[in-house]
Structure 1
Amino acid sequence: MARITPFTSPLLLGFDAMEKTLERIAKGNDGYPPYNIERIRRDDPVGTPERLRITLAVAGFSEDDLDVTIEESQLFIRGRQAETGERDYLHRGIAARQFQRVFVLAEGMQVMKAELKNGLLSVDLIRPEPQRMVKKINILVPE
């Protein structure tokens, strides 16, 4: 029996890569670290692009432990803490845990900045207003 997805519609052409990306992201979501996504209000409603902020709770991670990259319209946020063998724990409830969060970015989305403050990593994004494009396609008639 064939699997039916929203992308199997004959009207959606060329979305195969997006479907695979969404499947991969859905499988890799373990809930750590927790995050928020918020819309930042525009100060000037005319000409100012929409801003979004992703905030991750990354207590215990330093700037050197975190990596923020964009790969093929996907925002990857990775964290890896190095194990230090010099500590002698009586109890260890805070694990040095690595993580990876992936966010799929719409076409045109741009990362403005990433900032680490008080155990929160904030990544600001902008979405410029898309330009409406109309293109006339000439119809060829064979002779």
Structure 2
Amino acid sequence: MRTLDFAPLLRSSIGFENLNRLVDFATRGEGDAYPPYNIEKLNDGEYRISMAVAGFSQDEIDVTVQDNVLIVTGQGADETDTGERQFLHRGIAKRAFERRFQLADVIKVTGASYEHGLLNIALVREVPEHKKPRKIEIGGSAHVQPAAIEGEVRQAA
């Protein structure tokens, strides 16, 4: 069973429009494991993705974030000296690649570095103020209408 129907769940939920896309992305599977990577949790709210991109220079790697998707692409330069070099064994793969990582809304990419054949991408969890827990005071009145809503109603009238 490769396809899942989430329509019954999505009918009674609000704000989970990306759930279907995320599950589809996860069930697709990794067809190609190149290049290998690690995802590390450095401490509370800080993460790092390390990708082994041996043979690539910084100019041949592109890191882009678009619509909560981190896209890392590598485009190896054309080797014009293949006539001068004769490989008896070529184990360092320098083929083009694209690797995608789905990011949560609160995860931000803060930077990237390249050292010793490893591309390191720093990520941090930034929870906006409106998503942080807040204390709601309980009033004594049995019928309480929020002031913000009253103000909106009065402005609309």
For the criterion TM > 0.5, the same-fold answer is: yes
Q: Distance in 2 between matches of 1:56 and 1:26?
A: 22
More helix by share: 2
2:61 pairs with 61, 66, 73, which one?
66
2:43 pairs with 26, 41, 61, which one?
41
Q: Distance in 2 between matches of 1:67 and 1:55?
A: 14
**Matched length:** 131
Q: Distance in 2 between matches of 1:7 and 1:110?
A: 30
Q: Please, what TM-score do these two structures have when normalized by structure 2?
A: 0.68
Deviation at 1:80, TM superposition (A): 1.1
- Name stretches of at least 5 consecutive residues in structure 1 with no aligned partner: 43-49
Q: Distance in 2 between matches of 1:62 and 1:22?
A: 34
Name the SS for the 1:84 alignment partner.
Answer: coil
Measured against aligned partners, the alpha-carbon deviations of 1:37-64 in whole angstroms (never above 9, x if no partner) come to 111125xxxxxxx100000111111101
Q: Please, what TM-score do these two structures have when normalized by structure 1?
A: 0.74
Aligned residues: CA RMSD:
2.9
Name the SS for the 1:129 alignment partner.
Answer: coil
Indicate conservation of the 8 Å contact 1:7/1:16, yes or no. Answer: no
- Name stretches of at least 5 consecutive residues in structure 2 with no aligned partner: 135-145
Name the SS for the 1:19 alignment partner.
Answer: helix
1:80-95 to structure 2, matched below 5 A, reads 80-87=75-82, 88-91=85-88, 92-95=90-93
